[in-house]
Amino acid sequence: MVTHKSVLDSAGVADYRSAIGYFARTLMRELRLVSGYDVLYGKVKAFVQDGLFDRSVDLEDANTLRNLAELTATKTLMEACKQAINAAGLTVMGQT
């Protein structure tokens, strides 16, 4: 039984843009955000490049994409982004 389906871009080759877009869309869906994809995409990209791993990574490197697909990296990315978004939301709500 298939429990999930991965859809690749039309060329069938995944790259960092597809992966970061996937994470940004997933965060938006899970946190019920209705706008701000461009800003979120940029924040996720910056975090993956400079904060997710123990050093800065080259997003064009195939190993980066492979490492990003690891469960530990995926969970860390999603949880860190959710916490940051929720903290920012509380700050903005507290200022109004």
Q: pLDDT of the chain along its 96 residues, tens only? A: 545 555 544 455 578 999 999 999 999 999 998 888 999 999 999 999 999 999 999 999 989 999 999 999 999 999 999 999 988 875 554 454
Query: Other C-beta atoms within 10 Å of 43: how many?
Result: 18
Query: Other C-beta atoms within 10 Å of 77: how many?
Result: 21
CB-based contacts of 74-80 (< 8 A; 24+ apart in sequence) = 76/52, 77/23, 77/44, 77/47, 77/48, 77/52, 78/23, 78/26, 78/27, 78/30, 80/47, 80/51, 80/52
Judge if pTM exceeds 0.75.
Answer: yes
